[in-house]
């Protein structure tokens, strides 16, 4: 499978616990994005990496959220002290390097659904 | 709320055409996209249109772009039950590192 891979697909946790999601982008894609999607809404941008550098963070990304991409390949999104409002689908997407693509398309994974009880 | 606006729901009979409408905000957006999301799944790119185009046709899909009114539409011809899904319009705002700004999505229900 050469698509964007995310795991776990589902996570149920109790309020106050920490959770971590992993994203493996398409191998030649150096740009990686995290989005959050709540019920009935479109995806909202959280953060963006180019290689290992985190170049942009949304104001939606509170201090409890941290994302890393240490080697410029896979990425992790950690949520500390989860709250019920964090319940959502967390989507990862990737894009090839600039100059190698012609559509601007984001390739999405199937998402990691978080339920905070 | 979203800067990209879409109607929330569309019901269509199998075999009819569906038209999903979207208004966007950034007149400098280079590309505009239509993504499809089926229940429990990620987003799949359906089609896109470059901002210097007025229309793009791709098999059963026709995209119309009115830059003056910042209006984008997606027409699905001969709608099938497999077309039941949520459809998202998205734009690429300038200076955005390539991130997409999505609408809230239009749920399309195809009835036999």
Which residues of A fall within a CB distance of 8 Å from B99? 33, 45, 48, 56
pLDDT for A105: 83
Q: What angle do CA B73, B78, B83 make, to 5 degrees?
A: 70
Q: What angle do CA B94, B88, B74 make, to 5 degrees?
A: 95
In this structure, are strands B31-37 and B85-91 parallel, antiparallel, or unpaired? antiparallel
Q: State how far the Cα of B14 lies from the Cα of B79, in Å rounded to an integer.
A: 5
Instruction: Confirm or reject contact between B48 and chain A (CB < 8 A).
Output: yes
Is the per-residue pLDDT at A96 higher than 90?
A: no
Average pLDDT, integer, range A60-77: 93
Q: State how far the Cα of A37 lies from the Cα of B63, in Å rounded to an integer.
A: 25
pLDDT for B96: 67
Average pLDDT, integer, range A76-80: 97
pLDDT for B1: 40
Per-block mean pLDDT, blocks of 10 residues, chain B (112 long): 82 97 84 91 90 91 93 96 95 75 95 92
Instruction: Confirm or reject contact between B92 and chain A (CB < 8 A).
Output: yes
CA separation, residue B88 to residues A42, B23, B33, B34 (Å): 7, 11, 8, 6
* Test the B interface: residue of A32, A43, A114 with most B CBs within 10 Å: A43
Kindly provide the b/e burial profile for residues B28-67, where b requires at least 16 CB atoms within 10 angstroms of the residue's own CB: ebebbbbbbbeeeebbeebbbbeeeeeeeeeeeebbbbee
pLDDT for B94: 64
Instruction: Confirm or reject contact between B45 and chain A (CB < 8 A).
Output: yes
In this structure, are strands B9-13 and B106-111 parallel, antiparallel, or unpaired? parallel
pLDDT for A98: 76
By Cβ distance, the residue of A40, A44, A103 closest to B31 is A103
Which residues of A fall within a CB distance of 8 Å from B4? 42
Mean pLDDT over the full length of chain A: 92
Under 8 Å between Cβ of B67 and B51:
yes
In this structure, are strands A107-108 and A88-95 parallel, antiparallel, or unpaired? antiparallel
Average pLDDT, integer, range A41-57: 93
Instruction: Confirm or reject contact between B102 and chain A (CB < 8 A).
Output: yes
B103 CA to chain A: closest CA distance, Å?
A: 6
Q: Any idea which of A46-55, A92-101, B56-65 has the lowest mean pLDDT?
A: A92-101
Which neighbouring-strand residues pair with A95?
A: A31
Of A1 and A92, the one with more pLDDT:
A92
Which run of H or E residues covers position A32? strand A31-37
pLDDT for B95: 61
pLDDT for A75: 98
């Amino acid at each position: 499978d050469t698509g964007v891979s995310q795991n776990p697909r589902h996570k149920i946790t109790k309020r106050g616990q920490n959770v971590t999601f992993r994203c493996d982008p398409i191998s030649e894609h150096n740009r990686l994005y995290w989005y959050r999607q709540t019920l009935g809404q479109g995806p909202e941008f959280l953060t963006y990496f180019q290689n290992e550098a985190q170049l942009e963070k949304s104001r939606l990304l509170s201090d409890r959220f941290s994302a890393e991409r240490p080697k410029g390949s896979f990425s992790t999104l950690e949520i500390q002290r989860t709250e019920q409002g964090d319940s959502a689908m967390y989507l990862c997407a990737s894009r090839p390097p600039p100059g190698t693509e012609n559509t601007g398309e984001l390739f999405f994974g199937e998402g990691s659904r978080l339920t905070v009880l | 709320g979203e800067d990209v606006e879409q109607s929330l729901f569309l019901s269509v009979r199998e075999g009819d055409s569906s038209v999903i409408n979207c208004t966007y905000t950034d007149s400098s957006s280079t590309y505009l996209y239509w993504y499809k999301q089926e229940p429990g799944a990620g987003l799949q790119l359906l089609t896109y249109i470059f901002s210097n185009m007025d229309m793009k046709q791709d098999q059963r899909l026709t995209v119309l772009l009115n830059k003056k009114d910042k209006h984008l539409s997606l027409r699905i011809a001969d709608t099938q039950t497999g077309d039941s899904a949520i459809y998202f319009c998205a734009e690429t705002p300038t200076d955005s590192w390539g991130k997409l700004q999505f609408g809230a999505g239009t749920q399309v229900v195809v009835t036999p």
